[in-house]
Amino acid sequence: MDLLEVDDLAVSFADPKDPDSVAPIVKGVSFGIAPGEVFGLVGESGSGKSVTALSIMGLLDPRTARTAGSVRLQGEEILHGGGVDRSLRGARMSMVFQEPMTALDPVFTIGSQLVETLRAHQQVSVREARRRSVEMLDAVGIVDPAARFHAYPHELSGGMRQRVVIALALICGPELLIADEPTTAVDATVQLQLLRLIREACTATGTAVLFITHDLGVVSQLCDRMATMYAGEIVETGAVGEVLSAPRHPYTAALLGALPLPSRRGHRLMSIPGRVPVPGTEPSGCWFADRCAFVADECRTAHPPLQTAAEQADDRAARCIRVDAIADDLTALAHADSPAAVVGGLGKESR
């Protein structure tokens, strides 16, 4: 059984001044994460990734956010009923936020924040909490952790602050870790170290990880399975190696085609035209149709379901009715030295 089960999750926001005006942000999202597994959730800004994570953690404002569907942790429903309270958040499930400076309290030392977090969820003495906090700082790669224990957030670099945020998330040994773009503000060297840290924590303790990012390179290094989100819904899901080597949705292929790879040096990078539709204004057919190089008339008639491709296993699915017809073209677009040329050539032939 999956440790985290998300089933048909929907999140919408109401205007406080006009409760009848509701904007749907997340629409029918479903996935599961097994113990010890890293599940990547990718997509451009505005696709609903962070809102999905915040709804799982119970951090959305109930005055404006309306949620539906089901979220279960170890089989226990946490989205409705009692919801996510202090016995869950921080103890059994925790989150790494993408901006470490706002995730840490600037007026308290990092040691005091680690000690307070640990003692809030576990019955340990101050002395034991300090010892475990220093050990955790050492585990996340903080140099001279005993000295840094007394430092304030502004005295640390961005990479060190992000390590502290990860330490805060891991210190209670959570069953589920949600990491929301934790490597966005750090350089490549620190990014690699943080990814290795998350993977080691996952392997050592069996923690399930929901890793949210827009960087497919990070996904290829860290994640076991992944899902691509677009306009608030999942458009493709499967094992990382299969999705990245042979994408089955035009949006995933376009994201791969836009990556600046060494083999594309000197070639014009591809860009995805247009923008994500405004919530509540999605067209009747495929929501990616207006931006898709492989669109056909049939794509605009009805909204496609998330379905399994004819030649794929049950855990591989895409929300595209032309998936079998354009499979080779999608792979060519994702891995071409000049993806822009593919859009101008294969794309027109496939229409």
317-318 vs 233-239, strand pairing mode:
antiparallel
- Name the residue among 4, 16, 8, 3 with its Cα closest to residue 233: 8
Query: How far is Cα 274 from Cα 66, in angstroms, rounded to an integer?
Result: 29
pLDDT tens per residue, range 111-127: 999 999 999 999 999 99
CATH of the domain at 51: 3.40.50.300
Ramachandran quadrant class, 175 (left: phi over 0; alpha: psi -120 to 50; beta: rest): alpha
**Torsion angles phi and psi, residue 239, rounded to 5:** -65, 140
Residue 52 banded pLDDT, cuts 50, 70, 90: very high
Query: 176 is in which domain, residue-wise?
Result: 4-223
Q: Which residue has the higher pLDDT, 301 or 184?
A: 301
Residue 158's CB is within 10 A of a number of other CB atoms, namely 14
What confidence tens digit (pLDDT) does each residue in 53-69 have?
A: 999 998 888 888 999 99
Residue 349, pLDDT above cutoff 50: no
Q: Is the same domain home to 84 and 195?
A: yes
What six digits make up the tokens of 311? 């030649």
pLDDT of residue 348: 46
In a domain, 258, yes or no: yes
Cα angle: 148, vertex 150, 154; to 5 degrees: 75
Number of separate domains in the chain: 2
pLDDT of residue 82: 61
Same domain (yes/no): 128, 211: yes
**239, 245, 246, 251 alpha-carbon torsion, rounded to 10°:** 90
For residues 187 and 301, membership in a common domain is answered with: no
Q: In this structure, is residue 231 part of a structural domain?
A: no
Chain-wide mean pLDDT for the chain?
A: 88
What are the E-state strand segments in the chain?
Answer: 4-15, 18-33, 38-42, 65-73, 76-77, 93-96, 176-180, 208-213, 225-230, 233-239, 307-308, 317-318
Place of tokens 């990382």: 240
**pTM given for the model:** 0.91
Residue 85, pLDDT above cutoff 80: no
232 in a domain, yes or no? no
